[in-house]
Chains A and B, each alone.
Chain A
């Protein structure tokens, strides 16, 4: 089973890289594209076939490794 994990910075957490990208967009004439927040995207394959169990496994993995929940949120997309 394939899944995707998206990790984003929580609201209020400074994102200097996002700001730099936003600034670069402005330089390129994309002034209308704002509020850039940089995140991370992971593709994984699970041997687990049961969607509920697969999701539970990924939840656990997100909390323990993929995301630092002090500063980041995560979202899991499961192919079922």
Chain B
């Protein structure tokens, strides 16, 4: 499986994502600079977490205007899989690849801890290695992860089973509507989530619960 990780100034989880991708797929991803015009032909484009442009204006707002965005949108429209984590999720909502927005955490504090996630839809290309309803452990680290969308959008997401991950067992760390932790687009090729599955993929991390996403992607490409 070929993959690419987009690197923006202020991003700090790009190596975590690259490491997880290489570990599970056996191939190191291309690291693509935000000011490049084109992303190489790959099966997966990953948008990492961090604090692109210091979260100035709104999280992901400035990164969304980067030169690479045009090609990211073009490839997403063609059906290339796009995976946004944390700041990557915020960027994907800012550029309209995913609906809604990520607001400041309801309690206003930065959260850095482990939460429980329910796999609310295991029939996606990103989650088929999990079982429906499976509860996994996953770290979170964010200040603006409070998922918001208008009522109609939330209803549509729920009706179409596009909420893919939900905070479980009372661990919602940010006040997200319906405990939403991750959503997928209509076509099923763009997933965004606030938690960091790339940080729970090898024994030294203390668990392997995050591997399922990368294994799912590998499975559906190969």
* Residues of chain A whose beta carbon lies under 8 Å from any beta carbon of chain B: 12-14, 16-17, 20, 64-66, 68, 70-71
Contact = CB atoms under 8 A, between A and B. Distances in A.
A40 to B, nearest CB: 8
Contacts of A14: 103, 106, 146, 148, 175
Contact of A13 (B94, B99, B103, B107): B103
Interface of B is mostly: loop
Contacts of A12: 150
Nearest to B59: A68
Interface in B65-115: 65, 93-94, 99-101, 103-108
Contacts of A68: 58, 61, 94, 101
A56 B100 CA distance: 26
20 contacts: A12-B150, A13-B103, A14-B103, A14-B106, A14-B148, A14-B175, A16-B105, A17-B104, A64-B65, A65-B61, A65-B65, A66-B57, A68-B61, A68-B94, A70-B100, A70-B101, A70-B149, A70-B150, A71-B101, A71-B148
A16 B104 contact: yes
Interface of B: 57-58, 61, 65, 93-94, 99-101, 103-108, 146, 148-150, 175
Given A14-B146, A14-B148, A16-B108, 8 more contacts: A14-B103, A14-B106, A16-B146, A64-B65, A65-B61, A68-B94, A70-B93, A71-B101
A65 B57 CA distance: 9
Contacts, number: 37
Contacts of A20: 108
Contacts of B108: 16-17, 20
Among B105, B106, B108, B148, the most chain A Cβ lie within 10 Å of the Cβ of B148
Contacts of B58: 68
Nearest to A9: B103
Contacts of A65: 57, 61, 65
A65 B66 CA distance: 12
Contacts of A71: 101, 103, 148
A56 B148 CA distance: 29
Contacts of A64: 65
Nearest to B102: A71
Nearest to A64: B65
Contacts of B175: 14, 16
A48 to B, nearest CB: 21
